[in-house]
Amino acid sequence: MKYLLIHSPGRKKRPFASQPGTYCKLFCNDPHHPDSILNRPVTKEYRIGDTVFRGFPNLYPIAGCHNMILKFDGEGYPHLPQAMDVETGKEFAGLAEQMPEDTVLYFNSKGAYASIPEHLHFQSIDLKPPVFHLLGRLPKTKPLQVVEQWPFGIIATASSEHFSRLAGLLNERNRPFNALAMDGWFVVVPRVVPPGPLRYGIKPGALEMAGVKILEDATAVSDEEFIRITAQTAIPHSEAHKLCEIVAPESG
């Protein structure tokens, strides 16, 4: 498997992320804060039925065109927990349809090494994580499928219905997970979070679990070591199969 290496020196410089709750100052409870997103440019507005989402440039971009996407109620950005149930899963799928080409939409639930664990948001970035190159060779007809070629248990589907049902199940079980969408595919990465920090200070979120190696110094860790570390935070293939059977018994 070929990893996409991204050197991101900006990643460590996150004064807000290091203080729990402070992102809500910018998003929902301090409209006069100089960095409030009410004062930031809107890159795009998305509509899913009557629901509106707005995209903003990420404060700490990893690379290229990196946006945060939040629900907008006409006046502000209502406080919602960073969790994805069936309904939120459907909204994520609705947004995925509206992403520009070559852009991945993703989500880190609370507990899945989310950078902002307190306020519901999605992110988009214009790169193609390696897992999506692999999916291009799989049939889109199966309701849910475990990607056997991946080093740990991840689940792919081209069905927004099955995707949102799987998200709902993981949410009900309080299982942290990442979700990604691109090219008509959804990828779900159920997580386990081992106690204590991981080596090299790696905090693998959705992009890392999909094969993007984001490190201040990407050469400091070999691809093999990176895979080994991320696999410690994921479930085995066998457990991913069990989840597929619960959500879609016909997945086989």
Residues that bind Zn ion (CB under 5 A): 24, 27-28, 79, 119
**Measured in whole angstroms, how far is the alpha carbon of residue 195 from the centre of its chain?**
21
**Measured in whole angstroms, how far is the alpha carbon of residue 49 from the centre of its chain?**
23
How long is the chain? 252
**How far apart are CB 118 and Zn ion at their closest, in Å?**
6
C-beta closer to Zn ion: residue 28 or 147: 28
**How far apart are CB 80 and Zn ion at their closest, in Å?**
7
In this structure, what are the phi and psi dihedrals at residue 119, rounded to the nearest 5 degrees?
Answer: -135, 130
The CA distance from 180 to 16, in Å, is 24
The CA distance from 226 to 221, in Å, is 6
C-beta closer to Zn ion: residue 27 or 163: 27
Q: How many CB atoms lie within 10 A of CB 23?
A: 21
**How far apart are CB 23 and Zn ion at their closest, in Å?**
7
C-beta closer to Zn ion: residue 14 or 79: 79
C-beta closer to Zn ion: residue 32 or 137: 32
C-beta closer to Zn ion: residue 77 or 113: 77
Spatial contact of 46 and 102, defined as CB atoms under 8 Å apart: no
- Provide the terminal-to-terminal Cα distance of the chain, rounded to the nearest Å: 26
What is the maximum alpha-carbon separation in the chain? 54
**How far apart are CB 119 and Zn ion at their closest, in Å?**
4
**How far apart are CB 167 and Zn ion at their closest, in Å?**
21
C-beta closer to Zn ion: residue 118 or 208: 118
**How far apart are CB 17 and Zn ion at their closest, in Å?**
14
C-beta closer to Zn ion: residue 24 or 198: 24
The CA distance from 3 to 131, in Å, is 9
Sign of CA dihedral 237, 214, 125, 211: negative
**How far apart are CB 82 and Zn ion at their closest, in Å?**
9
Degrees to nearest 5, angle at CA 224 with 13 and 226: 20
Q: Which helix (H) or strand (E) element contains residue 244? A: helix 237-247
